[in-house]
C-alpha cells in the first residue's frame, strides 16, 4: 500500500526553491508567504491532532482551508484584505503542488476554487499642500536629528518613495551637481528588484547634500543617532511623531492617519493637480500597471468638480406639454 505524500516537504520546496528561484518574488513577499504558513501549520496540527510533519497533502483539504480563513476572521480579527492575501498564498501553494504532483490535480482544483471575499475599497487619504508644509516644518532643524527628519520627510514627499525604499537609499544613488542644484535625480530600488529614476527639487538636493556630508557612496543616506541605517519602523515612527507635532498648528492633520505611504499618495495627487500626465506619475511611483495609478484620478473631489463644471450645459427652456396632453396634431408638430 502506497503511503500518501506528506505536505511538509512540499512546503519546504515551495518556500526555499519555488518562491525565490522560479517566481523571483521580492523578499517582503516571500516573508508574507512564510507568515501565512506560520499561522496555517499550527492551526492544521491542532485541527488534526498530530504534528504537521505527519500530515498528508490531501488532509490539507479545502474544508480545512475554509476553516482556517474563518479562524483568521473570527479569532484573529483579520480584515477581508488580509484574509484574501493569505488565501492567495494558499492558492499559489496549491498550484505549485498540482504542477509537480499530477495525482493532486483534483485536490489543487478544490483548494483553488475557494473564492476571495468581496470588499469595498476604502478611500485613499492624502495631505493637502498646507498640511504638507506644516509637516515639513515640524522637525526642529537646529538639531542634527531634526535636520535628518526634515530631509527624510522632504525626500518621501518629493520622490513618492515607500518607507522601505527610503531605508535602502544609499548616497551613491543620488546624482546631482553642486553648481546648479537643478539637475538632481535619485535612483530608487523598489519592489521586485525594479529600479526607477526620480527628479529631485533643488531644495531637496541641498537638504540631502548637507545631510550626507563627506560620507562614502555606499553609506546609507538616513542614519539613526547611533549611526546605523534607519529601518522602516524608524521611518514610520519619524512620520507619526512629526505629524503629531504638526497637528498643533494644522488641526486637520489630526483627523488623518499620517504614515510614510500617505506622503506617497500626497505626491501623486499633487502631481496630478499640477497637470502631470498619469503615465508619468506611474513611472514616478514605480507602478507596473497604469490601473494602479488610476486610483489617484478617482479620489480628488476638487478635480471631479472642475471636470463637471467644464462639461456643464446651458439651461434649456422647459419642453411644455407632454405630447399625449396636446390635443391638436399641428400644435404637437410645432413643438418638435
List residues with catalytic annotation.
162, 191, 261, 264, 287, 296
Query: Which residue in 190, 116, 198 sits closest to 154, CA to CA?
Result: 198
Residue 276: all three cell numbers together: 502631470
Alpha carbons 134 and 54: distance in angstroms, whole number = 58
Q: At what angle do helices 62-74 and 27-48 cross, to 10 degrees?
A: 100
Alpha carbons 141 and 244: distance in angstroms, whole number = 17
Contact 155, 220 (CB under 8 A): no
Amino acid at each position: 500500500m502506497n503511503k500518501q505524500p506528506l505536505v511538509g516537504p512540499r512546503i519546504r520546496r515551495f518556500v526555499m526553491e519555488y518562491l525565490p528561484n522560479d517566481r523571483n518574488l521580492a523578499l517582503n513577499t516571500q516573508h508574507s508567504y512564510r507568515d501565512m504558513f506560520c499561522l496555517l501549520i499550527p492551526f492544521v496540527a491542532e485541527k488534526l491532532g498530530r504534528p504537521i510533519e505527519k500530515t498528508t497533502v490531501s488532509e490539507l483539504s479545502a474544508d480545512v482551508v475554509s476553516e482556517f480563513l474563518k479562524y483568521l476572521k473570527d479569532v484573529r480579527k483579520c480584515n477581508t484584505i488580509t484574509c484574501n492575501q493569505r488565501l492567495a498564498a494558499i492558492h499559489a501553494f496549491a498550484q505549485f503542488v498540482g504542477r509537480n504532483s499530477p495525482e493532486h490535480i483534483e485536490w489543487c482544483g478544490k483548494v483553488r476554487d475557494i473564492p476571495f471575499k468581496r470588499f469595498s475599497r476604502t478611500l485613499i487619504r492624502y495631505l493637502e499642500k498646507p498640511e504638507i508644509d506644516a509637516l515639513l516644518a515640524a522637525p526642529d532643524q537646529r538639531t542634527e536629528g531634526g535636520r535628518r527628519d526634515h530631509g527624510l520627510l522632504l525626500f518621501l514627499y518629493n520622490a513618492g518613495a515607500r518607507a522601505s525604499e527610503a531605508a535602502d537609499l544609499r548616497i551613491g544613488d543620488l546624482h546631482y551637481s553642486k553648481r546648479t542644484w537643478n539637475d538632481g535625480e535619485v535612483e530608487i530600488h523598489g519592489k521586485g528588484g525594479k529600479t526607477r529614476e526620480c527628479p529631485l527639487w533643488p531644495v531637496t538636493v541641498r537638504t540631502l547634500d548637507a545631510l550626507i556630508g563627506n560620507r562614502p557612496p555606499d553609506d546609507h543616506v538616513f542614519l539613526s543617532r547611533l549611526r546605523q541605517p534607519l529601518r522602516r519602523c524608524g521611518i514610520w515612527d519619524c512620520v507619526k511623531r512629526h505629524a503629531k507635532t504638526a497637528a498643533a498648528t494644522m488641526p486637520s492633520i489630526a483627523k488623518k492617519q499620517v504614515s510614510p505611504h500617505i506622503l506617497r499618495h500626497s505626491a501623486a495627487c499633487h502631481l496630478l493637480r499640477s497637470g502631470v500626465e498619469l503615465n508619468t506619475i506611474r513611472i514616478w511611483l514605480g507602478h507596473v500597471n497604469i490601473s494602479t495609478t488610476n486610483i489617484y484620478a478617482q479620489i480628488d473631489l476638487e478635480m471631479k468638480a472642475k471636470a463637471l463644471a467644464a462639461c456643464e450645459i446651458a439651461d434649456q427652456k422647459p419642453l411644455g406639454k407632454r405630447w399625449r396632453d396636446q390635443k391638436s396634431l399641428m400644435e404637437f408638430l410645432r413643438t418638435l
